[in-house]
Amino acid sequence: MAHRILIVEDNPVDQRLFEQALSDPTREIEICSDGREALAAFERRAADVVVSDILMPNMEGLELLNELHRRVPGLPVILVTRFGSIPAAVAAMHAGAFDYVTKPVEVFELQTRVKRALEIDQLQHENDTLRRELSGRFGPDSVVAESIESRKLMELVRRIAASHSTVLIQGESGTGKELVARLVHYWSDRVGRPFVAVNCKAFAESVLESELFGHEKGAFTGAIAARQGCFERASGGTLLLDEIGDVSPEFQAKLLRVLQEGEVLRVGGSEPRRINVRVVAATNSSLQDKVAAGHFREDLYFRLNVILIQLLPLRERRDDILALARNFLARMATEAGRHMTLDPEAAQMLLRHSWPGNVRELENAIERAVVLTRSDVITTADLMLDRVGGSLPAHPASVAPAETSALTPALDEADLRARRAEALEKSGDVGLSEYLDKAAGERIARALAKAKGNRAEAARSLGIGRATLYRFMRRLGNESIGEQRGNEPSEQ
Amino acid sequence: MNPANNNSRAIAGAAPAQATVGENAVGAVTGDVAGTGGKDTVSLARIDRLRNSMPGKDSLLDELIDLFVCDLPKRLSAIAQAVERADAPGRMNLALQAHALRGSAAIFGAGRLDELCGKLEEIGAGGALAEAPAMLIELGRESAQVREALLGLKSKPLATPAGAPPTARR
């Protein structure tokens, strides 16, 4: 959409100069001769930026600024003052002008100021959109918590979010530790500030220090520039230290010092930097056991374990299973523009399964079913749950009914049946879901190749949403579909 | 006869323009002009900077000069009327009109005209109105010189009849 700029100026030479200086195919410019005319134009259709002279007939620039801000607080208004008129420039800024330029206006200066105003306006707009999306995605009503245990957990998280204490989250892999850490962040007054998640296990010890604490230029070979660490990047927000139980005793000592002192020292640096970060640590093992075994410092454990959130495995909160499954299915089907349901037997299968991989396994199973099936009803055959740790369908024959579970033409039904049969034969050593993930990955790779890397087109040809495609690609990594799996910390 | 020139002389009783571009463009345009207190009629440096800042828009300078020339009689007339009224609304209008003309003058680096307009703006904002009539004469003379100097800088003759805005607004 074109940016709309109002130029408010009663002198025709300036009007034309400003218009020419700011004209661009992506912009729409309207010229007004005075403040009153500008206000009427703005009410007809709002503008993204207003450039206005200060002294004009009918309504002066400062009055116009106030009127515009009454309508749209924070609207970028650039006032044009006389060169050397410092009081006017000061008054403009005090009144809330985004910026000012002086007459005679230098074209480049005007262009730069307007460009900056548009960029900031755009960022503000994106920020507002993201906040709305986030508050929807992480809003209290958006979390699936059907079981009593999960409802109690949400209540606890809500209370914890309001505090500023350090939080330790323990739970098996796939139980949603990062989601809970995000809820602690988004339900707190730190929302709007960064949420930075770092998987401590994903980095070599030497890299982890630089990743978390940052480094100065020349601190080590390859440190060609100074870089902020995660603690600094999360300033004012929340830092999730995932897999905290796996860091070395030496690193534990460094981390303890940072938490105690409230400041970080970049690698190669000499000046400590104050930090204001809420730390949420997460682990899939029992830190207490590690302390008892002498693998984790007790003082760090107590520093992290101010508030403990223990997440239950999915098998211990079975009331959540179907609610979660339907939630995932609805989201993925909507992304693909489909309407999909679970048939009753599939629902029973989900309830019977023990979910050793917890919610992540459930999400993957649904995602895989959505990718692999053409039908709008997910059956037991589409779920293809592993024997390992759970329940497979009682009769292998029911695993692959070709009429309900077919891949797109590149992987035809016969091929699929053969692969499933082969997979069933091998299921003693290879997980069936893993095998089918690989098949789906190959299918996605082919679709991407056919679409010359165009993901939207590939998703369309597969009958899935782009987000589902991205998740699948991320999950399967580069082995199957040529995507680079990253270890970068995620930030929001 | 160009109505703009005619009008400005009629208001301010100005003598014909002394500083024109003609044969001695640089000297006449940027050099000291008698009685101007060292200020430029128009500044070639300023105009060059303006031209260079808008690459690919070669006709813009001509267009801006046309706009100035077309707007000038209206401004001078409005300023004269405002001085004549000598009341509060008149003062306010004097300040506004002088401010607007000053803006145009500054674009072309017309230092003397800029200064005169600044003084009239101050008078409009509460200064000694008694000084205004004498300044109007100076204003008429100076604006005629600026007009002539600018017309001499144009690559093409005046594009539109005086009084008609040469560009359409969006």
B170 in A contact zone (CB under 8 Å) = yes
**What residue in B sits closest to A28 (Cα-Cα)?**
B170
Closest chain B residue to the Cα of A9, Cα to Cα: B100
CA distances from residue B23 to A335, B17, B135 in whole angstroms, order as listed: 74, 15, 30
* 8 Å CB contact of A55 and B50: no
From the options 1.10.3720.10, 3.30.470.20, 3.40.50.300, 1.10.10.10, give the CATH code of A143-312: 3.40.50.300
Give CA–CA dist A238/A197, Å, rounded. 8
Q: What is the phi/psi pair of residue B128, to 5°?
A: -80, 105
Q: What is the pTM of this model?
A: 0.49
The reply to whether residue B71 touches residue A31, judged by beta carbons under 8 angstroms, is no
Contact status, residue A109 vs residue A21, Cβ threshold 8 Å: no
Query: By the CB < 8 Å criterion, does A16 face chain B?
Result: yes
Note whether A234 and A196 are within 8 A (CB): yes
For an interface test with A, the pick among B59, B104, B121 (most A C-beta atoms closer than 10 Å) comes out as B104
pLDDT for the residue A34? 92
Chain B nearest-CA distance from A72, in A, is 23
pLDDT given for residue A491 in this prediction:
55
> Residue A354: how many CB atoms within 10 A of its CB?
15
User: What are φ and ψ of residue A483, in 5° steps?
Assistant: -95, 145
The dihedral of CA A417, A389, A243, A467: what is its sign? positive
pLDDT recorded at residue B128: 83
CA distance A462 to A447: 7
DSSP SS3 for B61: helix
Task: Kindly give the confidence (pLDDT) of every residue in chain A, 492 residues in length, as a single tens digit, with 9 standing for 90 and above.
Answer: 578 999 999 999 999 999 999 998 889 999 999 999 999 999 888 899 999 998 888 888 899 999 999 888 889 999 998 866 777 778 888 889 999 999 889 999 999 999 999 998 888 877 776 776 666 667 666 788 999 999 999 999 999 998 989 999 999 999 999 999 999 998 888 887 888 999 999 888 888 999 999 998 888 888 888 888 999 888 888 999 999 999 999 999 999 999 999 999 999 998 888 888 999 999 999 999 999 999 999 999 999 999 999 999 999 999 999 999 999 999 888 887 888 999 999 999 999 999 999 999 999 999 888 888 888 899 988 887 754 444 433 333 333 333 222 222 333 444 444 555 554 454 444 455 666 677 777 778 888 888 888 888 888 777 777 777 777 777 666 434 443 333 445 555
CB pairs under 8 A between A and B: 68
Chain A nearest CA to B82, separation (Å): 14
A487: its two tokens: 């270890």
- Residue-level pLDDT at A433: 60
The domain locations on chain B are 3-153
Measured distance CA(B121)–CA(B129) in Å, rounded: 11
In chain B, which stretches have pLDDT less than 50? 1-37, 159-170
For residue B32, give the 3-state DSSP assignment: coil
ipTM exceeding 0.90, yes/no: no
- CATH architecture, domain A316-491: Orthogonal Bundle (1.10)
Task: With beta carbons under 8 A apart, name residues in chain A contacting B93.
Answer: 57
Strand order in the sheet with A195-199: A307-310, A167-170, A278-283, A238-242, A195-199, A490-491
- pLDDT recorded at residue A447: 82
Q: Do A3-134 and A143-312 fold alike per CATH?
A: yes
pLDDT at B9 (0 to 100): 33
Give the CATH architecture of domain A3-134. Answer: 3-Layer(aba) Sandwich (3.40)
| Chain A interface includes B23 (CB < 8 A) | no
Q: A231 near A213, Cβ under 8 Å?
A: yes
Which one of 3.40.50, 1.20.120, 2.40.160, 1.25.40 gives the CATH number of domain B3-153? Answer: 1.20.120
Q: What is the pLDDT at residue B27?
A: 32
Contact (Cβ atoms closer than 8 angstroms) between residue A359 and residue A176:
yes
Whether residue B99 lies within 8 A of chain A, CB to CB, comes out as yes
Q: Do B103 and A17 touch (CB under 8 A)?
A: no
